[in-house]
Structure formats: C-alpha cells, structure tokens
Amino acid sequence: MIYIREFIAGLISPAVVLSKPRFSRQLLKFAYTELYTSYDIGAVARRQEGEVREAMERHASDEGRHYKIFKEWAQRVAPYTASHNNGVNFGDPDGVEQPDRRSVRWSAEQEAAPNRRLPELGDYMLYIFLSESRAVIQFKLYQWLNRYDERCRTWIPSVLVDEKRHVAYSLHYAWREFRRAPLARIRGAARVAVYIARQDLVDLSKLIQVGGSAVMGSLFYFLLVTPYGFGLRLLGLARRDRLRRTETDGPVAPQRVQLDSTYWAEQ
C-alpha cells in the first residue's frame, strides 16, 4: 500500500518528462524535498553521537548534493520555469506554484517536520527507511521508463546509488533499535505508519482540491467569463488598458476619503 503513490508517479513519469515546464517543476519538487530532508536529517544528526551521527551527516550531505543536482537539472530543462515559476508576481501571485511550500512538510522549521514528530531514533530510522525505499521505486521507474532521455539515463543512477545506501543504513539502525526494545518499536512503527498515512492524505486532498478547482475553473472560465468578457468588450465596457473608470481620472479636485466605521468594515 505504502508504495502505491510512488509506483503511480513513476508510471506516469513519461508524460511529465515530455513537458519541459512540468518536468522542470517536478525536478524542483525533488530538489526541495532533498533540501528539506537534508535539513531534517542534519537536525537529528546533531542530537546523535558516534557512527550514527556520521552516517546521518553523510546522508544529509548526500541530500544536499542531490538538491543541487535536481536544481541544476531543472534549470537545464526549462531555465525560465525553474527560476521564475516560484514566486513570480505580476500583480498577483495567485496560482503560482512554490515548490518549497509544497514540500513544506519536510521543513525542519515546521512543527510537522519528521524529526519533531518522530523524535525517537528507532522511529525516525524506520521512517527514513520507508521514505528512501519509496524514492528508490520512483527513481527506478523514472530511469527505466525514460531511457530515451539522456539525463534520466545517466543522472538518476548517481542519485540511486546514494538512495540505496540510505535504505541500507536506515534499515540497519532501525533493526538495531528494534532489537534493543521490540515492544517500544512496534508502538513506534504504528506512529510512523500514522504519520506517513497522514502526510499522504494531506497530499491526496491537495491533489483533489487542485484538480477539482482546475476542472471547475475551466468550465467557469470558458462557459461564463469568456462569452461575458467578449460581450463587454463588444459593447466597449471592458478595455484592457482601462479596467475601471474612476473619478480621479484626469485632473480633479481632491477626493476626501472618509475614514469612518464603514470604511474600516468594507472588505
């Protein structure tokens, strides 16, 4: 069950790779996921000692490197999208995707950051193991289904090598922690499952929300806004260069704004 999402994402990846802006955004999402993972693991690493700390620091460093790989890749695929489709604001930032926000659940600064929700090492390692093995599935499918793309063929394997190592070390420590306190870790596993299920549900609800509003928005726009807009333009009532006529058009006497309770109540 837990791998279904990555499996589907991997299967539909050719459709993503074929569209440069979409692929660039996807790569940015990967990049920010790696970035926030590095923050999160770095935060946990600082609380550990010895070989666990070393392994986690190496993991954080790998994720930092992956961030740069994906970011650069996104830039190469579609420079404009990669640099500007997050935070562009020509009058309204509405609808602009912000990969860092979409990956916000990874942010170490957020309360929902894994290291804060799963403070015990055993739980955290299990979570890392599951997350990394999910990533391995997705990247393998990306590599396999998009062999015609040179970078998918050559760059993903370099990431996959690291991801497989992460799977191995996290499983090693998760198992070690399990052997130390089996009962506690079984309870921990339930916490991890709930945490991951919650994350996935949030993502699914966002997907439904975005998809639903896209469908409704398209219908509304083409069935209502477009004909109405055409009509207004034919009647000369809507002009691109003069969206509204105000009393202050042209040289006029000052208009006093009444700063009364009505003013402050109006939205």
Residue 163 CA to residue 130 CA, distance in Å, equals 11
Q: Tell me whether residue 119 is exposed, middle or buried, using C-beta atoms within 10 angstroms of its C-beta: 0 to 12, 13 to 18, 19 or more.
A: exposed
Q: Are residues 167 and 136 in contact, defined by beta-carbon separation less than 8 angstroms?
A: yes
Q: Which is nearer to another protein, 183 or 252 (CB)?
A: 252
201 or 225, CB closer to another protein? Answer: 225
The whole-angstrom separation of Cα 128 and Cα 114 is 9
CB of 207 to another protein, least distance (A): 12
Cβ contacts of 44-47, under 8 Å, gap ≥ 24? 44/115, 44/121, 44/124
- Is residue 252 helix, strand or coil? coil
CB of 121 to another protein, least distance (A): 17
Q: Smallest gap, in angstroms, from Cβ of residue 220 to another protein?
A: 7
- The CB-of-128 to another protein minimum distance in angstroms stands at 15
CB of 141 to another protein, least distance (A): 26
* Residues 88/76, Cβ–Cβ less than 8 Å: no
Residue with Cβ nearer another protein (194 or 210): 210
For residues 182 and 262, which CB has a smaller minimum distance to another protein in the complex?
262
Compare residues 150 and 260 and give the one whose CB is closer to another protein.
260
Q: How far apart are CA 252 and CA 118, in angstroms?
A: 64
